[in-house]
Structure 1
Amino acid sequence: MTQNAPDRRATLLVWSALGIVYVVWGSTYLGIAVAVESIPPMLSGAMRFVVAGLLLGGIVLARSGPQAFRMTRRQFLGAAGVGLLLLTLGNGMLAVAEQYISTGLAALLVASVPLWLVVFRFVVRDRPKTLTLAGVLVGLAGVAALSLTGAQGGSAAGIVVVLLASLSWAVGSFLSSRIAMPSNAFVASTVEMLAGGVGLALLGSGTGERLDLSAVTGRSWVALVYLVLVGSLVGFTAFSWLLGNAPISLVATYAYVNPVVAVVLGALVLSEQVTLQIVAGGLVILVGVALVISTERRGRRPGPGETSPGSDETSEEAPDEARNEKVPDEARSVVREGARAEG
């Protein structure tokens, strides 16, 4: 009974952190939509990621000192390049699209990212389990069903822009596991946010966006502050903790749950239409989540003399399934980088 108490506490912490990631990153679509009501989309993203990057960098500097930011030129350029793909192109195009389509539809289209990543994994012969692939396909079938309803009031151009954003996120996520990156995840995120934010500022200014402070509403400022403090910092902190304390396959389910959260919040806050098709599609997505969890969280226990890849990131207090799950470093990195795009 004494041994079970720490296990129960660890399980509670894992699901609490996962709940934060589910809700917080599901709500960022709503936050973006409210922010761009009176702030130009790319400039709003620039402010968000530059401020979040400076805050995160300051926290890392205070906790670990300047040595934490020691990196090679290749590592810096790698993180900066990933930041441009994930944040400048990926997040920037999402913010532009949310001026023309609903937040729920945007989130559902973004759920195509896992499909691209699975395709990329096949290309490099890192093949997922059959049921994992089935879970991905089932989840995306739910996304398709939801999109049929959501697209009725959406702009075709907005839908195309979101799909391009999704492709950019997938490319950035995939490349992040194949190029030199800072070893510290928080340092890498700091570089990505700053590079992505600067890229958004340059792109926004170059395309004619201008910030009129007198026209910005209090509602948009609140949304921007929420995106910086909660979406980028709280969400990413919870996610980073999960990487060391939960199975990577369980953490990755955020990609399927976030669209459901976004649809619900869009309906509650922005009065976006919810139909029986949306409910049915959401349930199908959750079935896909269940398939992924039930299949992938059964990690193979390392044999004698083996250590799990990425075990240096796992704390001694982590649940057994987190420590014993044998996951390729590439898969762990892809999930980490893809999640930064969400946050």
Structure 2
Amino acid sequence: MTRPAPALSTPAAGAEPSLSPGPAPAGRRITGAVWAALAIVYVVWGSTYLGIAVAVETMPPFLSAGVRFALAGVLLGAIVAWRQGFAALKVTRAQLGSAVLVGLLLLLGGNSLVVLAETAIPSGLAALLVAIVPAWVVVLRRAAGERPGGRAYAGVAIGLAGLAVLTLPGLSGDVRMWGVLIVIAATVSWSVGSFVSSRIPMPGNPFTASAYEMVAGGVGCALVGLGRGEHLGFSVAEVSTRSWLALAYLVVFGSLVAFTAYAWLLHSAPLSLVATYAYVNPVVAVFLGAVFLSEPVSWPILLGGGIVVAAVCLIVSTERRG
């Protein structure tokens, strides 16, 4: 997905760059297909945090992210060529450069850092920290001269308060603080990528743009992984079956199925409804992490997560009025 909905795009760990060709007509009826697609985005993108946590149990973080995104990008490009012809993959040099930049910001700087962080912190906590992205986008919009409005600023303040509470497990030593800080850095990178993607010349076909972004992000992740020496001492034979299954799930469902559902929703449902994934995904991620990985749900996670979700709700409600 390439162009983010204004101030709303958040990097579900399995999400690709988000496209926004424009909200669906306001009067369009909400059909059963819309609810089904929304359920896919809610559950699948929320579950990708669990998938990442399982994948990195026996796989190196950057190399596994590189394989995931590069493979998903190639598959998506093949689908575009099959459905629309190879001409749909043609882009100008400027458009290709923009797609590469956005892909590196979103997937290398954003998503893969979340993958790295999940080697140190619970997947549910990572998801709740990621939910702060809409607040960063509001800050970037204000820095660019826009005036998001008082409710958006209030959402930023509330979100930052929630972020402070969420860092308490790291400060108290319950989790590794470096993991918390890496996720925060990832949210900033994702926010910058989302923000600039609508201000630089991107490929006209959002699926084509997303394919190039994923390939660029995947190559970037692989190069960083090699630079970190993740391949040294690593043996494919030592990768567990559950990690392979998790990686396959992330490629097929997180990067292709949910991506297609989200792209379709942006054409078929009100943007305000689609944007609700921003505060549903973290709840799903916390629940799945607690159930399947026995991740602790402490009071800072519950309180801070609730504050962040409330902040995102406030920012989303501001966009509805826009």
What is the rounded CA distance, in whole Å, between the counterparts of 1:160 and 1:283 in structure 2?
20
Task: Tell me which amino acid in the other structure corresponds to 2:95.
Answer: Q
The answer to whether residue 296 in structure 2 is matched with residue 261 in structure 1 is: no
Aligned residues: 293
Cα offset, 1:243, TM superposition:
1.6
Residues 1:8 and 1:71: Cα distance change in structure 2 (over 3 Å): closer
Residues 109, 143 of structure 1: 8 Å contact kept: yes
Give the TM-score of the pair, scaled to structure 1. 0.78
What is the rounded CA distance, in whole Å, between the counterparts of 1:185 and 1:8 in structure 2?
22
Cα offset, 1:132, TM superposition:
3.9
Task: Tell me which amino acid in the other structure corresponds to 2:41.
Answer: V
1:10-67: CA deviation from partner (whole Å, max 9, x where unpaired): 3443333222222211111111111011111011001101111111111111110011
What is the rounded CA distance, in whole Å, between the counterparts of 2:283 and 2:247 in structure 1?
22
Q: What is the aligned partner in structure 2 of residue 92 from structure 1? A: 112
Residues 1:21 and 1:133: Cα distance change in structure 2 (over 3 Å): farther
- SS of 2:30's equivalent? helix
Residues 1:109 and 1:294: Cα distance change in structure 2 (over 3 Å): closer
Larger mean CA deviation between 223-232 and 19-28 belongs to 19-28
Give the TM-score of the pair, scaled to structure 2. 0.83
Larger mean CA deviation between 262-271 and 141-150 belongs to 141-150
**Structure 1: where are the runs of 5+ without partners?**
1-6, 300-343
Cα offset, 1:145, TM superposition:
3.5
The correspondence for 1:207, drawn from 208, 224, 228, is: 228
Residues 249, 292 of structure 1: 8 Å contact kept: no
Q: What is the aligned partner in structure 2 of residue 17 from structure 1? A: 37
The answer to whether residue 217 in structure 2 is matched with residue 196 in structure 1 is: yes
The correspondence for 2:140, drawn from 120, 126, 146, is: 120
Larger Rg: 1
Task: Tell me which amino acid in the other structure corresponds to 2:88.
Answer: A
Cα offset, 1:294, TM superposition:
4.4
1:148-180: CA deviation from partner (whole Å, max 9, x where unpaired): 357642111112211211111111111111111
Residues 1:267 and 1:150: Cα distance change in structure 2 (over 3 Å): farther
What is the rounded CA distance, in whole Å, between the counterparts of 1:58 and 1:231 in structure 2?
17
The correspondence for 1:186, drawn from 192, 207, 210, is: 207
**Structure 2: where are the runs of 5+ without partners?**
1-26
Higher relative helix content: 1
What is the rounded CA distance, in whole Å, between the counterparts of 2:76 and 2:100 in structure 1?
16
Residues 30, 266 of structure 1: 8 Å contact kept: yes
What is the rounded CA distance, in whole Å, between the counterparts of 2:170 and 2:294 in structure 1?
13
Q: What is the aligned partner in structure 2 of residue 111 from structure 1? A: 131
Q: What is the aligned partner in structure 1 of residue 176 from structure 2? A: 155
Q: What is the aligned partner in structure 2 of residue 29 from structure 1? A: 49
The correspondence for 1:252, drawn from 275, 291, 308, is: 275
Task: Tell me which amino acid in the other structure corresponds to 2:168.
Answer: L
Cα offset, 1:280, TM superposition:
4.2
Q: What is the aligned partner in structure 2 of residue 63 from structure 1? A: 83
Residues 1:287 and 1:208: Cα distance change in structure 2 (over 3 Å): closer
The correspondence for 1:50, drawn from 67, 70, 79, is: 70
Q: What is the aligned partner in structure 2 of residue 175 from structure 1? A: 196
Residues 167, 180 of structure 2: 8 Å contact kept: no
What is the rounded CA distance, in whole Å, between the counterparts of 1:262 and 1:45 in structure 2?
19
What is the rounded CA distance, in whole Å, between the counterparts of 1:13 and 1:150 in structure 2?
42
Residues 1:144 and 1:19: Cα distance change in structure 2 (over 3 Å): farther
What is the rounded CA distance, in whole Å, between the counterparts of 2:99 and 2:35 in structure 1?
29
Residues 53, 194 of structure 1: 8 Å contact kept: yes
Percent identity over paired residues: 58
CA RMSD of aligned residues (A): 2.3
Residues 1:293 and 1:176: Cα distance change in structure 2 (over 3 Å): closer
Task: Tell me which amino acid in the other structure corresponds to 1:266.
Answer: G
Cα offset, 1:252, TM superposition:
2.9
Task: Tell me which amino acid in the other structure corresponds to 1:206.
Answer: G
- SS of 1:71's equivalent? coil
Residues 1:263 and 1:271: Cα distance change in structure 2 (over 3 Å): same
Task: Tell me which amino acid in the other structure corresponds to 1:26.
Answer: G
